[in-house]
Amino acid sequence: MPEQVAPFNVAILAVPEVTASALYGMVDLFSSPGRDFRFITQGMAGDQRMRPYVVARGADRFRAANGVWVHPDHTIADCPRPDIVCIPDFFVNPGESVAGQYDPEARWLKRVHEEGALLASACSGAVLLGEAGLLANREATIHWGYVDTLTNNYPGVKVKVEQSLVLSGEAQRIVMAGGGSSWQDLALYLIARFVGLREAIEVARVYMLQWHDLGQQPFATLARSRQTSDAVIKQSQQWAESNFRKPAPVAVMARLSGLPERSFARRFAKATGMKALDYVHALRLEEAKWLLETSDEAIEVIANEVGYEDTSFFGRLFRRKVGITPMQYRLRFGSLRRAVQNG
């Protein structure tokens, strides 16, 4: 991006269900480039390179999802023309439609995007991009718990849940970040893109931020508890949740269902969106993740405890589904337990 004297305008869109930490965290990070690093290292604040402001449908203050008061700086009707619009995450029931609830915000997003603004969403904020009609036949990402919210309600969207950051649209002017704290990655990326890489690194150093290069896979729950009205399959799921360690669990599930094995396989996939064997693997790997987080048992022991006699197969499957090896997972997610034990 070329140098410019005036700060870049960053509108941060707030709806009543917004997450206050993301909303005001974005305000802090976008206020920092050019200003804070110089203040910390030289004792004198530099020139602020970005100007964030909170915009909302109306001018009146309102409470965010956690009860914190939000005071909009501008309404969407009278705000300064934005170079960037950020949409923090907000509370929406996973999988459900919000059609009609945010029509003024959706129309505004569509208009400012047509006028040249870059639109950036964090976590469930991507839903408002869908409401604005900007996700049709495009790649997207969102928090792993909200994938169905996009795929159920916006035709043609291609969700890349394994990616923590997705660039889409003409000139890559739609940017989406996936996980709950990914608004930090989103802010650093936008600072680097508009102001410069050095300034983004300086902001990361000031706030001691770490780029989440692993993506969402290590955090995601593999076994989605999709609701099904099929009582036979629901009983099979319940049996599997307590018996996934047993040998040949899919064959046992089919036998208990009273269905031929092929019929059971088709019916299970239709009801749950997963193959029965994949569902069993997901249950086993979730248990393995818990054991890796909370115990010091050897990887071989954990593999056997969750139902795998072949440790090398377990390791390959774990890496393919989770994105990192069992040992890497333990090192990353067992640190909280170690800190508590050593405290």
Same domain, 239 and 200: no
**Of the candidates 140, 116, 137, 145, which has an alpha carbon nearest to the alpha carbon of residue 128?**
140
* More confidently predicted of 4 and 193: 193
Same domain, 202 and 237: no
Tokens of 184: 């930090």
Q: Is residue 224 part of a domain?
A: no
Parallel, antiparallel, or unpaired for β 50-56 and 139-140?
Answer: unpaired
Q: How many domains does the chain have?
A: 2
Same domain, 146 and 256: no
The domain in which residue 70 lies consists of 8-207
Q: Is residue 280 part of a domain?
A: yes
Q: What is the pLDDT of residues 199-223, one digit of tens each?
A: 988 898 889 887 655 555 555 565 6
Distance CA 300, CA 312 (A): 9
Same domain, 23 and 91: yes
Residue 2 has pLDDT above 50, yes or no: no
Q: What is the pLDDT of residues 68-95, one digit of tens each?
A: 999 999 999 999 999 999 999 998 888 8
Q: Is residue 221 part of a domain?
A: no
Q: What angle do CA 248, 249, 255 make, to 5 degrees?
A: 100
Contacts 24+ apart (CB under 8 A), 266-270: 267/230, 267/232, 267/233, 268/233, 268/236
The pTM for the full model equals 0.71
Same domain, 200 and 252: no
Domain of 81, CATH number, reads 3.40.50.880
Same domain, 268 and 169: no
